[in-house]
Structure 1
Amino acid sequence: MSSKNDVLIIEDSPAIGMLLKNYLEKLGYTQIHICSNGASGIMTFKDLISNKKDPIVLLDYMLPDTDARSVLTQMFEVKPDIRVLLATATEEDDEGVKDLIRLGAYQYLQKPIRFEHIKSAFETIEEEDNFFKKESSQIDMMSKQIEDLESKIRYRVDMVLQSTSNFSLSFLQNLFNDSNEYISTYLKELEENGKITRLSDKKEIACNQCDSTSITQIFYCPSCKSSKFRSGKLIEHYECGNISEDNTYVNDLCPSCKKLIKALGVDYRVMKNHYICNDCSNFFPQLSTDYVCLKCQNKFSLDECRWKNSPFYKTTSM
C-alpha cells in the first residue's frame, strides 16, 4: 500500500481544525498540518512542496488575514495542480464560491462539514492518485495485462468518464497527450453507442507555448503585483474623505477625523466587494489576472493566450 498524502488544514477555528485532524487520522492520514490563517498556511504549504510533499489542502473560505482567492493564487504559483478542498458555510451557487471552483478548487465542502463528505472526497483523490500517479507498479501491471495501446486508452478513458458529466476532447488529450488518435476514434464509437452526446464546440483558453488547455488563473494586486490580498467592505467618510475597511470605524467613529458617521448616503457610503492588498494596502474593485499552464508551467496574460475550439460532450450512460 502506498503512503498517504500529507494534509494541510487552513482553518481559523481551532475546534474545527482539531475535529478534522482527528477524523482524518481515523482515515489513516498521519502527517496533518493545521494553520489558523492564510499567511502561515502558505508558508507551511511552500515548506511541504520544497520537501517533495504533495499535500491535500482543506481551505476555509473565510480567513482572518487574507482572501481564499489569494491563498489559491499563491498555491497555484508554487504548484498549479494542487488539490484544494474549499470548506465554507456559503452556498455553492454563491458567485464567490463559484469563482473559486472555476479558478481550480478541487471540490466544495459545505459547512458544517459532514464526515461522509470528507471521506468521499479523500477516497476520490486516493483513487485518482493510485490510477494516474502513485501506483506506477499497478499501472505497469495493467499495461502488461492489456496488450495493445488502444485497449489501454479505452480503459483509462472509461475510468475518467465514469466520474464526470461533461468534458471536452482537449481535456482528455491533456490527460493522454500521446494518444490523441485513439481518443478521437474511441469517442466516435461511444457516441455511436449512445454513451456520450456531442454538444456545441467549447472555446477554451490555450497555452501560447504548448497549446495545452489545462490552464488555471492566478490573481494579484494591480498596483504592486502581490498575490497576498483579502476581500473586504470599505467605508468612505464624505466629510474628511477617509476610505478604509468597515472594521476601522469602531463605534461608528471615522478613524481619521474621529467624527461620528450617522446617515448612509449622507455622511458616508459603503463600498462592497473590494479587495485590499496585504502588502501595499491599496484597494480596488477588481484583481489583475494571469494564466498558468499546468503542463509546461508557462505564465501568460489573456492578451497573449491562444483560443482553441474543442468538441464538447455530455456523458449519458457510462
Structure 2
Amino acid sequence: MSSKEDVLIVEDSPAIGILLKHYLEKLGYTQIHTCDTGSAAISTFTDLVSQNKQPIVLLDFMLPDMDARSILTQMLEIQPNARVILETATEKDDEGIKELIRLGVYQYIEKPIRFENLKNIIETIEQEQSFFENESKQIENLKQAQNNAQEKMVDHLDFILKSSNQITLNKLISILGFSNDIVIAYLEKLQKDGKIIQMDSKKEIACNQCDSVKTSQVFYCPNCKSSNFKLGKLIEHYDCGNISEDIAYQDDMCPNCNKEIKALGVDYRVMQNHYVCNNCQNFFPEIATDYICLKCENKFKLDEARWKTSPNYKVINM
C-alpha cells in the first residue's frame, strides 16, 4: 500500500488494547485510535469516515454499554463496506457470532489473540487495498486479478457456509456481490460433493429500493430515537403515582415520597419487560424498529419492505 490505513481498536481491556496497539505499530501503523465503549467507537468511526478514511476496526464482542451487533450495525450504516475484525473468546459456532458474520463482519479472530493470525488478516486487507489503489496500473494483470477475486469469493463463501447452519441464495449473493451464475455453480458443486443440501425455498425481507436482502433491524426509543436503551423492570407506587426502575426502590422505599411499599397489588404493581431509555429516561413496553439496507443504506419500515424468495441451503459437511 502507498500508505497505512487508520486502525480503530474497540476494546474495554486496557491491557489488550495496549498489546494490540504496540503490535500494530510494529507492522508500521501510526494512525491508531482506541476506544473502550461502543458510543466512543461510533463517534470516532464517524469522524474518520467524514475525513474520507476507511479505518480497519478491531471490535471486541462485548463492551460496557453495548454489544458488537449494535456497534457493527451502526458502523455498516455509516460505511457499508467497513472492514470489521471481530475479536472474541466465544466459539465460532455460537449463534451470536454466526449472526455477526452474516451481517458483514470481515473476519473473526479468537481470543486469546495470536498475533500471527492478526498479521495474516491485516496483510490480506493490505493486499486488497493495494489492488484497488493500483487497479489502473494493473490492466495487463486483469485476468489474473479476476481469478484471484473468484478464489477469494470461494474462500469467503466457504467461510460464510462454515459459520451458518442454513443460508439462502439471496443472502449469499447480497453478501458476496457476485452474480447468480457464479454462486449457483459453486453451490451445485458443493451439493455434488455432499457438503450442502438444498431445502425448501425461504422468503426474506428485502430493501424496497435496491432489492438486497442484506438488511438489519435498528431498534430505538420511540420518544427521542436514541438506541441507548435497556430492558428493565418498573415499579408503580399507587399512593403517589411514581413509576421508577426497581433498583430505585432501596429497602422497599419509594424514591418519590419515601414511603415503604409493602403489599404487591395493594401498594404497588410490578411492570415487567419494559424498556428504559438512558437518554430521555422515558419507559415503554415496546421499542420502535426500522430496517436498514446494508448495501444502499436505505431505511424502511416492515410494511414498506419487499419480499424475495430463493432456495435455502443447509450445511452438512463443510
1:127 aligned partner: 124
Cα distance in structure 2, aligned partners of 1:306 and 1:235: 37
> 1:17-49 CA deviation, whole Å, 9 max, x = no partner?
435434544565433222344443332121011
Contact 1:101–1:108 at 8 Å: present in 2 too?
no
Contact 2:199 2:311 in 1 (8 A): yes
For residues 248 and 279 of structure 2, the distance between their equivalents in structure 1, rounded to whole angstroms, comes to 18
Q: Equivalent residue for 2:112?
A: 114
2:49 aligns with: 49
SS at match of 2:256: coil
**What is the SS of the residue equivalent to 1:163?**
helix
**CA RMSD of superposed structures (Å):** 4.2
Equivalent pair of 1:10/1:58 in contact (CA under 8 Å):
yes
Contact 1:67 1:229 survives alignment (8 Å): no
- Inter-CA distance 71–177: structure 2 relative to 1 (3 Å threshold): closer
Tell me the amino acid that sits aligned with residue 59 of structure 2. L
- Give the aligned partner of residue 162 of structure 1: 158
Provide the residue aligned with 1:197 in structure 2: 197
* 1:71-120 CA distance string (max 9 Å, x none): 4554343224435556678899999x57973893737778xx4122x764
**What is the CA deviation profile of residues 120-158 of structure 1, one whole-angstrom value per residue up to 9, with x for unaligned ones?**
467447536745x65334886763237xx7x67753442
**Long gaps (5+) in structure 1:** none
Question: TM-score, normalising length from structure 2?
Answer: 0.73
Partner of 1:243: 243
* Pair 208,25 (structure 1): closer, same or farther in 2 beyond 3 Å: same
1:53-68 correspondence to structure 2 within 5 Å = 53-55=53-55, 56-59=57-60, 61-64=62-65
TM-score after normalising by structure 1: 0.73
- Contact kept, 8 Å, 1:9 with 1:57, in 2: the verdict is yes
Query: What SS class does the counterpart of residue 41 from structure 1 fall into?
Result: helix
Shift of 1:51: 1.1
Percent identical across equivalent pairs? 49
Distance in 2 (CA, whole Å) between partners of 1:311 and 1:35 is: 41
- Structure 2 stretches of 5 or more lacking a match? none
Residue 229 of structure 2 corresponds to 230
Equivalent runs, 1:1-318 vs 2, <5 Å: 1=1, 3-12=3-12, 14-26=14-26, 29-55=29-55, 56-59=57-60, 61-64=62-65, 71-84=71-84, 97=96, 101=100, 104=103, 106=105, 113-116=111-114, 120=117, 123-124=120-121, 127=124, 130-131=127-128, 135-136=131-132, 137=134, 143-145=142-144, 155-164=151-160, 165=162, 166=164, 167-174=167-174, 177=177, 179-224=179-224, 226-239=225-238, 240-249=240-249, 253-260=253-260, 274-314=274-314
1:36 and 1:59 map into 2 onto residues whose CA distance is 9
Tell me how far apart the structure 1 counterparts of residues 3 and 193 of structure 2 sit (CA, whole Å).
40
- Residue 42 of structure 2 aligns to which amino acid in structure 1? I
- For 1:99 and 1:227, the matched residues in 2 are separated by 26
